[in-house]
Amino acid sequence: MIPAGQQQSFYDQVGGHETFRKLVHEFYRGVSGDPELRALYPEEDLGPAEDRLRMFLEQYWGGPTTYSEQRGHPRLRMRHVPFRVTPAQRDRWLNHMLAAVDTLELAPANDLLLRDYLERAAHSLVNAFED
């Protein structure tokens, strides 16, 4: 029960850990079948990347602060600077991420809020243009 005057976080509204676990797992299922995106992950096992993204999103949306406790401040743009993120890669990433959002069957307002954030974040990480 939420104390009077206190709002529930987006994390809790959408189902907490299980929702974000499913979102990120579905996203990486798409990445694993996309040779161009998969090539950006040097690890053979996508599990560690999956854990990092899930923890980041959980923390961003009001869940546990495990990401910062384990990895420090998110610094999203700084962490992506070493990678050449083109508009085409952004679009591929968004394609898989939005398909993963489709699997969640969120309430319309929550769905829109999540999609808006993911689209803005993806656009903000572009740091290179096509050759």
CATH of residue 82's domain is 1.10.490.10
pTM of the shown model: 0.86
Q: Does 87 or 130 have the greater pLDDT score?
A: 87
Long-range contacts (CB closer than 8 Å, 24 or more residues apart) made by 63-72: 63/9, 63/11, 63/12, 63/16, 63/17, 63/20, 64/17
Domain membership flag for residue 118: yes
Domain membership flag for residue 3: no
- Mean predicted confidence (pLDDT) in 120-130: 88
Percent of the chain with pLDDT over 70: 85
Q: Does 72 or 35 have the greater pLDDT score?
A: 35
Task: For 33-93, give the DSSP string.
Answer: T-HHHHTT--SS--HHHHHHHHHHHHHHTTS--HHHHHH-S--HHHHHTTS---HHHHHHH
Q: Which tokens go with 35?
A: 């040779």
What was the pLDDT predicted at 77? 56
Q: Does 92 or 45 have the greater pLDDT score?
A: 92
Domain membership flag for residue 83: yes
**What residue numbers does the annotated binding site for heme cover?**
123
Q: What is the CA radius of gyration of the chain?
A: 15
**What residue numbers does the annotated binding site cover?**
123
Structurally, the chain folds into a number of domains equal to: 1
Domain membership flag for residue 4: no
Domain membership flag for residue 131: no
pLDDT tens digits for range 51-109: 999 999 999 999 999 887 767 666 665 555 567 788 999 999 999 999 999 999 999 99
Under the banding of pLDDT at 50, 70 and 90, the label for residue 118 is very high
The CA distance from 97 to 23, in Å, is 8
pLDDT tens digits for range 84-97: 788 999 999 999 99
Q: Report the 10 Å Cβ neighbour count for 86.
A: 15
- The helix/strand/coil state of 8 is coil
What was the pLDDT predicted at 4? 59
Domain that residue 56 falls in: 14-124
- Mean predicted confidence (pLDDT) in 112-124: 96
With 0-12 / 13-18 / 19 or more C-beta atoms within 10 angstroms meaning exposed / middle / buried, residue 15 is: middle
Domain membership flag for residue 7: no
Which position has the token pair 């079948």? 33
